[in-house]
Every structure is written in structure tokens, then in C-alpha cells.
Structure 1
């Protein structure tokens, strides 16, 4: 076993000047020294930072590491002691509790079923592109396209009625802003979560009384209690909306910043599958996960003691030259399958196939509708969103054509 590495003062978060798509430079330096080093967390906890692809993947696959929030320390902000996951929030549960929820939901998120939703993604994308075209540029792509498309698809999956969809989007927007902006008190975020849960409780009750052809109605026929259904619905709502919205906007920004790659995608429509995987690897919107050791674990030549939290830098892992050649280059022809942007192991993103369908449909529709799409402001004027949730993205993306 090697000697413990010197602790990093904190998780590096500052991206290189003028390079909003690249991870903090220090992460690569840490990875070169050792894929697992000591780190001091914002609340003073002395834990670990994993940056190597193999190391991050190993932690995500190891049942000796827990996803339960009450056992972990936040790597991005001092949020204080975190409460246990509410009923139904299987993302933050370990086996066997996690397994029970996962089995009930897996059938709803098969590749076949998600592809069937592709037609609706096409229709919804066209509706918002029509509205953009009528309005004329410049527009904020976040508000006009990147948020509404995945939000509408999440509504489709959960069975949110048309009349409630504006309220639905507002609830999610308030919740995300409350948790991501360091200038907003954390308590405001928890209040937004409670309001969202209240809305979902009402929706679950409505589905029990009058089931329809949607995922939430299907789940009311299982043995899940009302509180569990509410928790599942809130989790799917957030997971199915926020990351995809940021991928659409940040992915467009990256393509406009790499015109040769955008030209390749326009010239080769069949390239879209590889392009989406590469954009997800290159951008790694969900850039940092955490796990806590349930027992002593030897990994990468270090001994992680029970109770210690490990920050998993997925963005550093996805840029690891030991896994991907020339990893800091955006190359839409690259076979990036196997990246960790959807996680790995039992907590691998359940809705990843829906996210892929949305990206593979909406992104080509956008660049096809507007062949001369371009930024409406200089690239350096694009303001990135504050980051307290481990999700990277832009605050706004002004575009024109």
C-alpha cells in the first residue's frame, strides 16, 4: 500500500478561463499523481477524491460504498447533516431497499419503450422550434427549447396534465435554482422540494382515482405506498428534466464553439448516436458524485476507512487518458460508449434511454431547422450557472440565425 497522498484543500471547481467545457485543471494534476487522494470537504470532513476512470468506476460498482445521504458529506458545499432519503427516493438507497424499487421501474424504462416515445419527442421539438422561428432571433435557447422539451417529455411519462405543465416547470425551476445558486439559502431549496412533493402527492391521488396510460398510473397498481409513489415521482421528475435540459443547451454551445464538429454532424446524420455519447462524455453535466465507505476498503493503493466519504469526479474520469485517447478533444467520431456520465453499477441512471432519445432527436432537429444557428453574444459572455448541485450548465444561451 502506498503512503496517503497530501490532502487537497478542497474540491477544485474553477474551470480554465475561456474554457467552460473543460474540468478544473487541478483535477488532471491530481489524477496524474494518484487516482485517489485525500481531500478536505467543505464541512471539514477529511475524506477522499477519486479522479481516475477505473477508480471512480470501481467505487460506483462496489456495494461496500453507500449512496445514503445521511452517511455522506457534501463535496461541493457545507449543507450540514443531510437527512435520510424520503420514501421512494431509491437513488439514495442501498440494496436491498434500492433493489425493490429498481425492479418495479425497470420494465417502464426499457430501450423499446423509450424509443416509442421518440415520435412524441419529434412532435414536441417541432412545436418549440416552430415557436422559435415565429418569434425570430435572438432567443434564449434554455427558455425556448432546452428546458421545455425534456420538461414536456417528463410530463408525458408521468402523466401530468396539459393545464398543470406550466406550474410543473416552475416548481422544478424554483427547486433547481434554490439548490444550485450559492446566494440562495439552502432552506429555500428544501421549501421548494416540499412544494413539489405536495404537488406530486395530489397527482398520485388523482392517478389512483382515475388511472391513465402513463408511468405513474402503472405504479399505482403496485404495492408501493402513497408516500413511496410521491418520492419516486419527485425523483423521476428531477432526474428526467434537469440534466437533459443542461445537456441540450451545453451540447449546442459546445457544437457552436467547435464548428468543424457541427459541420460533421450536419454532413453525417448517421453520426448522431456517437455524437450524443461523445457530448455526454466531453461535457459530463453531472460532474461529481459521492459515496461513503460502510467498511474499510483498500482501493488504488489506499485504505479508505469506514465512515469516510469519497468524492467521485466523473468529469475527471471521463477525461482520463488511460481510458480515452486524446480525451480533452471533442471528437464526434469517437466511440465514447462506456463513459460514466450516467453512473455505473446498481445506481446507473434508470432514465438514460429516454435521455438518449431526447438528445438524438431534439439536437439534430434544432441544427437542421436553423442551418445558420449561432451565438447571439460572444462566447465569453455566456454566463455559466452557479454550481452547488454537481450539475454543470449555462444560465442562459442567447442564439440567433
Structure 2
């Protein structure tokens, strides 16, 4: 095979998503023969000792303690942003102005205004950009998209989705950055709801209007980082106010006439990552569950009477999206592979000079929905999205 060109990645941040992105970047060339190959060039973080250790463990060639220095480097082609939400806009805009391609974790920003600024910056610079909604790239979700696009379900009537977790139920869980509005933007809405909103837009179409409610069940929490020796309790006795939602539920109308039901919470006992959807159409229905992510359930009304029912498709056949790059059929893949598939699309996008979906335009559309849900929760009324966000 001909020699492939390298694309040098600079990543800002290195914790949970940093680990997921690093793994994907390292494994991508092993499974996929993309024209461009990612190289883990440098990683940035404020804690010199911690970022050095992260670089060594995850395979990065070098590190910086200031993300600005990372962007200034001539040996960096792409900036990968895996930092808390409040820093996304500043880093992405600076990267675009420096001529770097950008991939950013979700949600795109804290506000619609910041999201617009980020989209304007990458468009003005002419750089390739993506937002990391990795669940789109599960083979089963990609197959669902194909079936809908082929008209197998016919007209879509309903989209139902949940993203349920339970890690915040204890009032002793400390006040982390995800619970502070000035850093996270919102709680379960932006952290979990953003994912199912993106799946809805990907599979069904744009959302026209919403009505919703939000609740914060635990109003105050201990300050400080989790101390494992204290079994989850903060070392300090001081407490601070939680300024984001613990749970959100909302209804939606899609521009194509379909109805949507969405729920996101971090207070659902027994649910570690209950990311699930069901889609009902005139000719059939689809179901998917992240915790059983290789399987897509499909019902088709045209099946022979007496044999009708949901069938389970294990999306590991060579004919299924991305699956042919891995193992023999039935040998399942996992959560980490969704990130590999996303980075495959980024590499292909850079090679072609195009920004694959989901990109910053999708991030803005998702942010508009998040903002509309928050407004509805405040006012108790239906909120219509701007025309640009509801075009089908």
C-alpha cells in the first residue's frame, strides 16, 4: 500500500474523553485504511505532572501546560478539544484563527451566541470542523439511518429517547464542574440531552418546537474533589449550590410532523448509561439501546401475518456500516469504536476539505434546541425554534 500522509493532532485536556479520543486515534490506522493517518503529536493540560503522566500513558509524543502554546506550534494540524464546556469557544476560535482544523466535545458551547461565534470562526478560516457526537457512529445507529433514508419505515410518526444515569443520586457526591452552570452550561440537559437531541436530528430531522420541564433534586453539595478514602465524600465540610438541572423531560414537534418525547436524568437508579430510542413509522419501527449497542431491533408491517414481531439484527456483518473493518460476524465491538468511526470521518473530511456531519453547524442547531428547552422550562410554554433550526 502507498505511504499515507500524517495528520498531527494536538489535544487539549486528557481525562475521560481524552482517554476515549486517544484510544481511537491510536487504533484507527490498525482497522481503517484512511488516506490520512492521525499522529498523537502533543497534549495540553494545566497540571504539568498530571499531563506528563497522561502523555506517557496514552502515547502522546509531547505535552504542553498551556493550550495557547499548543495552538502556536507549527507541528500541529488539528486541535482536539476535550475540556470542560466553558472553555470550548475560546480554544476553538483561537485554533481556527491559527488555521488548525478543530474537533470539539459536546455540547459545543455554553450558549447559542458562543456556538455562533465558533461556527463563524471555522467558516471564516476555512478549516475542517466536527463536534463529537459519537453515538451516531455505532453501526446499528448508522443502519437505522440507512433504513429510514430508504423509506423502510415510511412516514415517521414518533421518536422517543431517554438517556438515564444514576451517579448523582447520593447527596454526598461533591460539587464537580458538571454541576456548575458557569462551567457546564446546563446539567443533564446539555450532558445527556444533547446526545439524544443529536440522534433525533440525525435520524428524523429538525425540531420545530419544544415544551419541557427541568428539576434540581439536590440543591447543595459538598465542595471539593472526591476523596476515595472517604468513600465519595468531599474532604471539606463546606457546601455549595448546584446551579444546573439534575433531570429534564420535554416534548417536541419535528418539522416533518413527527412527535418527540425526550428524557435525560442523572437520578435513575440502576441506569448507568440508559441511552435508548424507539422510532415508529407507518411501515415499521426501530429500537436501539447503547447498553446493547451492536443490536438493532426492527419491526416491519409487511412481514407475513403470524410471523410479525421485532427482529434483532446483530450489526456485525461485513455489510453493516464500519463493521467490516473488524472481526468475523457476531464478534461484537464496543463503545470505544464509535470514536474510531468518528475520527475516520474526520480524516476523510480533512483529505477532501469538507466538514463531516456532525460539525459545528450541527452543534449550533443542537444548542438552539437546548436553549429552547431551558426557555420553556422557565416560562412553562411551548417555544418555537428559529426557522434556520427547523428546516427539514
Sort the TM-score into its range (normalised by shorter chain). Answer: under 0.3
Identify the structure with bigger relative contact order (alpha carbons < 8 Å, sequence gap 6+).
1
More strand by share: 2
TM-score (norm 1): 0.24
TM-score (norm 2): 0.25
